[in-house]
Amino acid sequence: MPMPIVIIAIAEWFGTALWFTPNAVIDDLQQLWQLSPGDLGWLTGAVQFGFLLGTLSLGLSGLADRTRASRLFALACLIGALSNALLPYANGLGSAVGLRVVTGMSLAGIYPIGMKLMVGWAPGRTGLGLAWLVGMLVLGTAMPHLLSGIGWSGGGLVDQSGGGLVDQSGGELVDQSGRGRAGDSDDWRLTLWIASLLSLVAGMAVWRLGDAPSGPRTSATTSSRLAGLGAFRIADFRRAAGAYFGHMWELYTLWTLIPLLLIAVDPTISSRTLAMTSFALIAIGAPGCWFGGWMSQHIGSRRVAAAGLAGSALCCLSYPWLAPHIGYATLVGFLGLWSLLAVIDSPQFSALSANACPATLVGSALTLQNAIGFAISAASIALLVPALPTWEATIAWWLLPGPLLGLVGLKRIGKPSRVAQSCA
């Protein structure tokens, strides 16, 4: 595989490690700021809202196509690293939400701009290149859970085989259930700071790589205001984007719910086991994306996306019936399959959208598509996550409309339309 594609993919992995950092240390934040379980939705939703603001700004202004993508990516990594590193110094939920909004805005310069870089460096292999990039995004999303599960023990707390956390600096046993951590322990802060360091490494790598030499030049169209909206005049872009929007109703809400669903099934689960299991259940989507990218070279992006949507729809439908009647290990396996199917289609939507647009609009079009998709995601998280204690396993049925609507959007891709096929 060409080295630029490898560099961009790894940079996407490291840069998007900022996305779910509060989810990985939620136990510590709940103790530190006296948060309720529903407050996790606010912290995650703040990132989605910030991402929406950032992507709208980049997509509507045309800046995504008027600025060197590598420089924009590097700057976003720097801002995101700083806002994430400051999170331990927030004095409560309000200031933490503000910092997460800034982090979300920086991710707008990492995810969609990373897609533009990949499209430029992988001409003719868009589905495969974006599959690698989104797979790395999945690993980045899961990374905070891995960092939290490692259990930094430099003079602080270590996990005694799941039986409790002991302060090895001479303190007392702080939590015999294995779920909590002491508020003065530094290990959860290291989880955040290492994620910030990874983001800085990502920015420096892409800064040194630069843009693809064959990338499209700026045109009058890309310099105009509301540039990304022009893409919606293209029928196949509208259809691919509509399918993506349905997919986004489900995906990030599912990932936010995963640790909460595990706790609901086993309230005694240790922090380390919860973190590592959550990491595995989210990260499994990475090889799923890569497999989907390979398949797209043989059967096309539309069929891969349709298979993913149909599979995740079946998981949404069956989860409330299966969850109360299967064992914990089987349930974890089911959630892993669901997580894989929910994301295997993601890069293929972007490939379909990018292929439908002129090269001079790819950055703005994909960025605006991301903006709308993550607005839908933020709404889904805000509405559904706080309702988990009430709806319990039946919350899965509220995710089902997403993949069903996505299948409707895919159905007409490639068919004639009366709408002018122009971005003018």
The pLDDT tens digits for 43-96 are 877 887 898 899 888 878 777 778 888 999 999 999 999 999 998 888 888 888
Mean model confidence pLDDT for the chain: 81
User: Which residues are within 8 A (CB) of 419 and not within 5 positions of it... i.e. 6 or more apart?
Assistant: 233, 234, 235, 238
> Which residue in 386, 150, 394 sits closest to 256, CA to CA?
386
Confidence of residue 220 (pLDDT cuts 50, 70, 90): very low
Residues 369 and 353: their CA atoms lie apart, in Å, by 9
The whole-number pLDDT of residue 81 equals: 96
Exposed e or buried b per residue across 32-62, where buried means at least 16 C-beta atoms within 10 angstroms of its C-beta:
bbebeeebbbbbbbbbbbbbbbbbbbbbbbb
The pLDDT score that the predictor gives to residue 270 is 86
Local confidence band at 227 (pLDDT 50, 70, 90 cut-offs): low
The pLDDT of residue 151 is: 59
Q: What average pLDDT score do residues 329-358 get? A: 91
Dihedrals phi, psi of 175, to nearest 5 degrees: -160, 105
If we measure between CA atoms, which residue out of 405, 51, 5, 367 comes closest to residue 212? 5
In the chain, what percentage of residues exceed pLDDT 70?
Answer: 83
The pLDDT of residue 128 is above 90? no
Output 187 or 218, whichever has higher pLDDT: 187
CB neighbour class for 162 (10 Å; exposed up to 12, middle 13-18, buried from 19): middle
| Residue 179 pLDDT level (bands cut at 50, 70, 90) | very low
pTM (two decimals):
0.75
- What does the pLDDT read at residue 10? 93
Average pLDDT on 109-126 reads 84
Pick 249 or 225 by higher pLDDT.
Answer: 249
Confidence at residue 222, expressed as pLDDT on a 0 to 100 scale = 46
* 216: pLDDT strictly greater than 70: no
How far the first Cα of the chain sits from its last, in Å, is 36
User: Which residues have C-beta within 8 Å of that of residue 273, sequence separation ≥ 6?
Assistant: 162, 178
- The Cα 194–Cα 25 span in angstroms is 13
CATH 3.40.50.620 fits 3-212+229-411, yes or no: no
Specify the amino acid at residue 397.
Answer: W
Of 43-52, 217-226, 273-282, give the range with the top mean pLDDT: 273-282
**155 pLDDT higher than 70:** no
The predicted structure's pLDDT at residue 107: 93
Per-residue pLDDT averaged across 267-279, rounded? 86
Look at residue 332 in the predicted model and tell me its pLDDT: 95
Mean pLDDT value of segment 414-418 = 63
At 161 the pLDDT is: 36
What are the boundaries of each domain within the chain?
3-212+229-411
- Secondary structure of the chain in the HEC alphabet? CCHHHHHHHHHHHHHHHHCCHHHHCHHHHHHHHCCCCCHHHHHHHHHHHHHHHHHHHHHHHCHHHHCCHHHHHHHHHHHHHHHHHCHHHCCCHHHHHHHHHHHHHHHCCCHHHHHHHHHHHCCCCHHHHHHHHHHHHHHHHHHHHHHHHHCCCCCCEEECCCCCEEECCCCCEEECCCCCCCCCCCHHHHHHHHHHHHHHHHHHHHHHHCCCCCCCCCCHHHHCCCHHHHHHHCHHHHHHHHHHHHHHHHHHHHHHHHHHHHHHHCCCCCHHHHHHHHHHHHHCHHHHHHHHHHHHHHHCHHHHHHHHHHHHHHHHHHHHHHHHHCCHHHHHHHHHHHHHHHHHCHHHHHHHHHHHCCHHHHHHHHHHHHHHHHHHHHHHHHHHHHHHHHHHHHHHHHCCHHHHHHHHHHHCCCCCCCCCCCCC
Higher pLDDT, 184 or 26: 26
Q: Any idea which residue has 């995004």 for tokens?
A: 137
Inform me whether the pLDDT recorded for 127 exceeds 60: yes
Question: Is 378 in contact with 107 (CB distance < 8 Å)?
Answer: no
Where do we find the tokens 């700083």?
82
Per-residue pLDDT, 166: 36
